[in-house]
Structure formats: C-alpha cells, structure tokens
A and B are shown apart, each in its own frame.
Chain A
Amino acid sequence: MSTTTTEIARFAFVRPDDVAGAVAAGAAAGQGGRFWAGGTDLMLEWQRKQRSIETSIDITRLSELRGIDVGPSEIRIGALTTLAEIERAAAVHPDLETLAAIAAVMCTPQTRTLATVAGNLCNASPAADLAPVLMVLGARITTLTAEGGRELELEDLFAAPKQSVLADGELLTHITIPLGGRRAVRYGRIARTVVDIALTLSACALTLDDQGRIITARIAFGSVAPTPLRAPSGEQLLVGKTLAELTPELLAEAATAAAGDANPIDDIRTSAAYRRHAIRVLTQRALTEAVAQLSVGGDQ
C-alpha cells in the first residue's frame, strides 16, 4: 500500500503595525496579496480553493481603521468597523438607523463580530446587503496604496460579481456619508430566514431642501444585477417634487421605473421573475415609508 503525500499550499501571514506598513506589504505582495480583515468570505474561498492567496495581510490590529465618527458635515465609518458595531450604531446618528437594522439581519451574531463593513463591500457580492443602503446614503470610499490615496463613489467600486475595481495592494480605509438636508432612509428586504442571504433588497433615501422639495432621491438594489445597483429611472421621477406631489400613484410609477433598471437572474435562491416582481413591491413600500417619515417630521 502506498501513501500519497499532498503538499498543501499555504499562504504567508504578515501583520503590519500601521496603515503605512499595510499598504507597503500590499505593494510587496502584489497580485497574490490579500488584506485579511474578518475573513468570513476569504476563509471559505480559500478553503474551497476558489481563490489563490500567496500573502495574507492581517489588518485587524489597525485601530485607526475602526469606529464611527460623526462630524458636522459627514459620518466617517472606519473600514474595520464590524457588522456587530454597525448593528449597534442606530443611536450614533439617525441616518444610520437603516444601516444598523440591515446589519442586524446579516449572517449570525457570532459572525457579525468578525465581519467588517469594508469586507462586505470589497468582496463585491451582488448580494452585499450594506451596499445598497450606503449607496442611497451617498457614500464615498477612500482608499490608499503605497503611491497615495483616492476617493470614489461607492457605486463605482463594483466591477462584476465578486470583483471590485480596487488594484492589487489598494486598501479601503474608510467610508464617508455626507450629511445635510432632512433625509429619510428606508429599505425592504426579503430573505428565507433571518440568517439567510437576501433574495432581493431595495433601499431608498429621499432628502428635502429648505423649500420642502426633494433635492436628492436615491434608490439602490441588492441581488438583482451583477453588482449592487443604482436605479436612476425611478429616482428622476421624484427629484424636485414636494411631498404633496409624491402621491401613491407617482410612487408606484417610480417603483415600476426603478424595477426596470434591475437585471436579475435565476439562481439557487430564487427566480429572476420573482426578483423582478419583489424589487418593485419592496421599492414602492420603501418609498411610501420614506414619504410618510418626511411628512410627520416636518418640524425637525
């Protein structure tokens, strides 16, 4: 009887002390390098041999990338802020209530302590639940490489399923949400159970200017396209309107137009036809709730 010894490919593990060290390690590692934070996706991809990794760069000790800061004109969320921390952030700022509510139904309590907001985004899953909400909040991301930094709109981060536009060695350091105006943020999400990945998710944010007109309207979807998706066809029907003009009929029309921007597929979780229907219904409900919230909060 012969014994076969299989050489198990393993990666190198490095733990830089600061952000500068992390991007230097990222530059040195090149194509085979991965920044490793919560690792809740990377660990599985590694074990299933779906991803080759030569160097994993542990960034979890970089405390400057952690936490939520509310400034006068923006909220800054550190890349390593965990889903467990996001889940408890509703009290930090009212604009984070919806983000917190969604974090609370993602994966499981003992996985949310590991999983980070940047990991959810950089993994670029079309079903990344935080992405649509952050997109309607107008979030921008800031990244750093050994050569320098850049800022981009969150919606420009996603290239394809499980593929971001970030270069090798480019580290997402924080997410910025601009503040201003009176904003209502709502979402609808359908999943099989509380711990399951969403079948579809729709988020919307409506912001009023001083004259009581909608100055920005954003609608974004999860799990209905190759990437998290903005739905401009629905948004443009709402901008410039007063609350009185946002009738149930107009909201229904906007939801239908928005759903037209979706490009869903059949997969193991559900069908394209179901997703197309559900995204319209969820969007109409979310818009209706957002208008109701702005209508009662007129004195704020």
Chain B
Amino acid sequence: MITVLVNGREQAFEPAADASLAYMLREEAGLIGVRVSCGEGECGACTVLVDEQPVTSCLMLAHQAAGRKVTTIEGFGSPENLHPIQQAFIEEQGFQCGFCTPGFIIAAAAFLEENPSPTEEETSIAMSGNICRCGAYPYIVRAVMTAAERLRGASV
C-alpha cells in the first residue's frame, strides 16, 4: 500500500510491484488524461509532474511515486478556469486530434517554469520529447510562446 499526493489529493494505491506509474494513474486513479501511446518513453504522451519534474510515467515504477506529489493534466485548471497554457493551446490551435496534448501541456509547464522567456528555437527543443502524429508542431510552439507571454504578464 502506498500513498501519493495526486493533483492535490492524498490517495492510497496498491499497485503491482512492476506496474508503471502511468498504469496506476489510468487504471487505479481513473486519470485517463495520462495517455499511453508508445509505452517506451519516446512519445511523451504520458508525461506527468512528479515533485514538479516532468517524467515519462510509463517508465517509472508506480511504487517509486510513494509519498511524492504527482500532477496530471486533470490537475491543471478546470473547465471553467483553464490554465493559461491550456487556453493558449485552444487559441493557437495547438492540436488536431488532441491525444498528445496533455503531455505537451505538462512538458510546456515544466519548461516555462525553468525558462519563462524562451526563444522559439528553445521551445522547439524543449518540446522534442513529445510526438504529435497530426504534425501540429508549429502551432504547438506558437501556443507555448503565447502561454509564456501570458504567464510572464501574470507574474509581474
């Protein structure tokens, strides 16, 4: 039995020893915003924050999250009050099918936390751990740049 602080709420889980964090979040916590696409740490769709660090949750053992703080896309904003990065993805059309979007948004949040004023090139490189099969990359970079601008404005 482990407890994990998931999206601000302490929850108890009983994952198998070899279960991935992604599996536990989807199957036990019902957080299906955690997308599993490649399952091999290549595509970034399963990206979540663990203690504010972005991780491919398909590669991390669920047990390694014991006692730690995990944030999934469900912990970002709410339908009535979207996170600025979510809002920017909608406005800049940073997706088509939307499957990869949670991973992109979380990777973007971690990146902008570290680099609030990135160049477009820095943003592209920072987003290189996420794959978008629809190929919305230019729009995604634009969305992250727009979000960066808003977040900078909000923190002044």
Contact = CB atoms under 8 A, between A and B. Distances in A.
B63 A109 contact: no
Given A13-B17, A194-B128, A113 B53 contact: yes
B111 interface: yes
Interface residues of A, number: 27
B58 to A, nearest CB: 8
Interface in B131-145: none
Nearest to A37: B64
B54 A113 contact: yes
The size bracket of the interface on B is: 20 to 34
B63 A13 contact: yes
A195 B128 contact: yes
Contact of B129 (A47, A60, A110): A110
Contact of A109 (B18, B20, B40, B107): B107
A107 B43 CA distance: 11
B64 A10 contact: no
A55 to B, nearest CB: 9
B126 A114 contact: no
A58 B64 contact: yes
B116 interface: no
B59 interface: yes
Contact of A110 (B16, B61, B107, B125): B107
B31 interface: no
A284 interface: no
Given A109-B128, A113-B54, A114-B55, A40 B61 contact: no
A108 B111 CA distance: 12
Contacts of B41: 40, 43-44, 107-108, 111
Contact of B47 (A60, A110, A194): A110
B17 A111 contact: no
Interface in B12-41: 16-18, 20, 39-41
Contacts of B40: 44
A111 B59 contact: yes
A111 B130 CA distance: 11
B16 A15 contact: no
A67 interface: no
Interface string B97-116: 00000000001001100000
Given A110-B54, A194-B125, A58 B44 contact: no
Interface of B: 16-18, 20, 39-42, 44, 47, 50, 53-56, 58-61, 63-64, 66, 107, 110-111, 125-126, 128-130
Given A11-B18, A195-B129, 4 more contacts: A12-B17, A39-B64, A40-B41, A110-B110
